[in-house]
Amino acid sequence: MRSMPSSYEMVAPRSLHDALGLMAKEPGLWTPVAGGTEVMVQFGAGRLMPTRFVSIRKIDELRGIAQTETELRIGAGCTYADLRRDAIVGTDFPLLSTAAAWTGSIANQNRGTLGGNIVNASPAADSLPALLVYEAELVLVSVRGERRVRYGDFHVGYKKTLLAPDELIRTIVLPRRYVGWLSVARKVGPRNAQAISKLCMAALARMDRGRIAEIRVAFGSMAPMPLRMRGVESSLNGQQISSETIRKARRALEAEVSPIDDIRSTRAYRIAVAGNLLEEFLRGVTSNDTLSRWNVSPAAEAVRTMLSCCGSTAWAEAMVAARPFAYEASVLERAGEIWRGMSESDWDEAFRSHPRIGERHADRATTAASAKWSEGEQRGVAESEDAVKRAIAEGNRRYEERFGRIFIVCATGKKPEEILSILERRLANNEAMEMRESAAQQEEIMQLRLAKWLRTEAGA
């Protein structure tokens, strides 16, 4: 049975001062609501108890992301879309940016807020393990003033927090000390987004001459609240990564947690998968020599390497800014996220780094490795019959006349006749549809080239 709107009352104060005054006047009787994503789930299911809501969604004092030399300050009313778009979050705090991309649908990301996710206190929330490993602090505010608490102390039990009935979270504060640390975020579920996690992990490590100088590990969906794995960290700090080190870390994990069986997963499954994710992270930080060298190479050299994989300068610079990467999967995942967030002009720059299908030279050369890879990718067209080559050349001409740029297709594994058929089909696209399809093809090319580079020295 659905809830009845007449059972609820909502007010929308114009300022933080007004909202706090209302909550102080009647502590515990007003429930703050920002994005309302969790409230609407409960409302639609008929499980939302009659109450009075105070909307804080449009209060400017709770929005905005500001940085100092030592801190990043995120307003509790910032949405997940805000986090995804912010350049500093993406470069200095990639775990939080990745978790924001996992959280619900695009519509939910446009409404759901980081502060709301924290106060909702779900042990399965995707963003909370990232806040634990980044050692976030929360600024809590009421008419009595402000207080600052460690996020690691904020959750005191299942759906229970330190927040007083008349308080709001004003700001999430992240120390800017993790640049250069290896990091990974992992989510296990039916799919990455729009699904509650069976298990999620965030991990950071700072390496020093082959040893783990410092490490942070946190899990969601493993306990009644998000959990920082201090026993695991203690077993790893100062250690070289070896099979024995990993075995000890897995034993420490098993001793530190005791998850329950529930509708999403079993205790045994969660412990096994958590151990696998931890082991994957530990083995990854030292497993790829190509990636390890690139992580510490000079910025200009590292950008040039990335330009071999994708000809967008902004994309290559963003990839370098996101260093270091713990292992190959992190590179591929972040590369796609950055590419999809680029502007159409950045996409077009990458398109122009490729030769036309059936030709040898690009209008705008990038690197020798890029030219070599293009030649290999288009070998099938180069060796095709003359009639097919002429048809593709004519299709290229018509395409450029229609769209004003070259035709982009991932030619790897495709026969010339298949490429010609794709070209003819895409000539019927409108501009917006064709730009999206071209960008998707470029991303496919980029991912294949990154995989080649990671496994060979060709892209160095």
226-247 pLDDT per residue, tens: 999 999 999 999 999 889 999 9
pLDDT attached to residue 134: 97
Identify the pLDDT of residue 363: 64
| Greatest pairwise CA separation for the chain in angstroms | 83
Q: Which residue has the tokens 């049975």?
A: 1
In this predicted structure, what is the pLDDT of residue 380? 78
pLDDT value of position 330: 84
Residue 344 structure tokens: 């159409």
Task: Provide the residue type at 312 as one letter.
Answer: S
pLDDT at 45 over 70: no
Pick 60-175's CATH classification: 3.40.190.170, 1.10.10.10, 3.30.465.10, 2.40.160.40. Answer: 3.30.465.10
pTM listed for this prediction: 0.71
Radius of gyration of the chain (CA): 25
Tell which CATH classification among 1.10.3470, 3.40.50, 3.30.160, 3.30.43 matches the domain 5-55.
3.30.43
Average pLDDT, the chain: 88
Lowest-pLDDT choice from 175-189, 240-254, 335-349, 410-424: 175-189
Identical fold at 60-175 and 197-284? no
Could you tell me which residues come within 8 angstroms of residue 48 by beta carbon, excluding any fewer than 6 positions away? 3, 8, 39, 42
Kindly report which listed range (58-62, 180-184, 232-236, 276-280) carries the lowest average pLDDT score. 180-184
Query: pLDDT of 72-99, one tens digit each?
Result: 999 999 999 999 989 899 889 989 998 9
Alpha helices in 166-266 (DSSP H): 230-236, 243-256
Tens digits of residue pLDDT in 151-168: 999 999 999 999 999 999
pLDDT, residue 53, reads 84
Please report, for the chain, the start and end positions of each structural domain, with discontinuous segments joined by +.
5-55, 60-175, 197-284, 288-460
Determine the Cα–Cα distance for residues 190 and 350; give it in Å rounded to an integer. 33
CA distance 448 to 460: 15
Rounded to whole angstroms, the Cα distance separating 336 from 432 reads 20
Which CB contacts under 8 angstroms, 24+ apart, belong to 233-236?
236/212, 236/282
pLDDT higher than 90, residue 370: no
Highest mean pLDDT among 204-213, 292-301, 392-401: 392-401
Q: Are strands 227-228 and 160-161 parallel, antiparallel or unpaired?
A: unpaired
CATH superfamily entry for domain 288-460: Oxo-4-hydroxy-4-carboxy-5-ureidoimidazoline decarboxylase (1.10.3330.10)
Of 353, 375, 361, 359, nearest to 308 by C-alpha is 353
Domain 197-284 CATH superfamily: CO dehydrogenase flavoprotein, C-terminal domain (3.30.390.50)
Q: SS3 breakdown of the chain: % helix, strand, coil, rounded to 5? A: 50, 15, 35
The β-bridge partners of 205 are 182, 215
Contacts with 123 (C-beta within 8 Å, 6 or more apart), sequence order = 158, 220, 221, 222, 223, 224, 225, 226
Q: What is the pLDDT of residue 47?
A: 67
pLDDT of residue 213: 93
